[in-house]
Amino acid sequence: MTLAAGIDVGGTKCLGVVVDEHGAIVRQARRPTPHGQAAMLHVLAGLAHELAPFDSLGIGVPGLVTLTGTLRAAPNLVDVRELAIGPRLSERLGHPVAVDNDATCAAAAEWRHGAGRGATDMVMVTLGTGIGGGIIAGGQLQRGANGFAGEIGHIVVHPDGPPCPCGRRGCWERYASGSGLGRLAQEAAAAGVLATVLENVGDVGSIRGEDLQLAARDGDIEALEVIDDYGRWVALGLVNLTNILDPSIFVLGGGLAVSSDLYLGPIKKWFIRLLYSPDHRPHPALEFAQLGSEAGAIGASLLPQLQT
């Protein structure tokens, strides 16, 4: 039996797993995510020792990762940048260590063991604080020329839209991420709708996506309308990706996948309305992720066999 180890580095914790050929987790371990370069390498090496024995090791990290396993920019990690995680851990551990972006790892996991099994062309979209992505095209996990493929959250969908921390305006994740949902809700409240939500929360600036979800589940029509608008923005980006990549399936993950029942209807409705040439093509399936919070670690364990 081949055992593949994977570690998912998150903003707050690092989750390590050892996975068998069927994607079943046979061991796991976790540590808080440390601050700083040396501490990061130390914690990852410690997790690797704790997970041993295994036949291969892959690591998923949030941010831009080069083809040779260097983490360039990582906005959600503290004091970590330009860190050659792959080469330095390989040297310390004495065996190869494959490294890639965490959303790419989640895509790999859902492709091999989750909602995207069997697809040759699949796009994974993680709707969380931001939007991450991973692309399977032509039966291969795509990394791009430099390892940075799949930064789909920063597709500009409205050049005069709200500013994005990336320095531009109107990035897709300003509308279609979890924080984008909160922003849409705040905009609606400021425009005088969502009275009930506003009353419960107290002030416009404190309204979050979760408040909107609660109201929608109570049948608040205005909250449902904001969720419909949110579904339109999600669909707009999915349609753009369809025009470029023509996948047979989108797998939607991230925090919003937990409440998929609220979102799937609006997203599907708008997807069909916005699709280019809808009468002349099969429509890609829209599915929510199946592997939950372990997708990143499971996907990291697949990197050694998928990176080409």
Select the residue interacting with a copy of itself from 168, 205, 206, 258 (CB under 8 A). 168
Amino acid at residue number 236: L
Which is closer to a copy of itself, CB of 12 or CB of 308? 308
Interface pattern 280-299 for a copy of itself (x via CB under 8 A): xxx-x---------------
With both helix axes pointing from N to C terminus, report the angle between 37-51 and 85-93 in degrees, rounded to the nearest 10: 50
Q: Which of 303, 302, 304 is nearest to 23 (CA)?
A: 302
Of 54 and 172, which has the nearer Cβ to a copy of itself? 172
Stretch 174-233 residues interacting with a copy of itself (CB under 8 A): none
How many residues are there in the chain? Answer: 308
Q: How much is the CA Rg of the chain, to the nearest whole Å?
A: 20
With b for 16 or more beta-carbon neighbours within 10 A and e for fewer, the 172-191 pattern comes to bbbbbbbbbbbbbbbbbbee
Interaction pattern, residues 237-266, with a copy of itself; x per rule: CB under 8 A: --xxx-xxxxxx------------------
Task: Report whether 109 contacts 101 (CB < 8 A).
Answer: no
Nearer CB in complex with a copy of itself: 15/302:
302
**Pairing mode of beta strands 249-253, 285-288:** parallel
Q: DSSP letter for 38, please.
A: H
Q: Of residues 7, 41, 236, 267, which one binds a copy of itself by CB under 8 A?
A: 236
Angle 209-217/260-274 helices, nearest 10 degrees?
100
Residues 106-165 interacting with a copy of itself (rule: CB under 8 A)? 119-121, 133, 135, 137-138, 140, 142-160
Q: Which amino acid is at 56?
A: S
Report 67-86 residues binding a copy of itself (CB under 8 A).
72-73
- The answer to whether residue 277 forms part of the interface with a copy of itself (CB under 8 A) is yes
* Site of interaction with a copy of itself (CB under 8 A): 64, 72-73, 119-121, 133, 135, 137-138, 140, 142-160, 166, 168, 236, 239-241, 243-248, 274, 276-277, 280-282, 284, 308
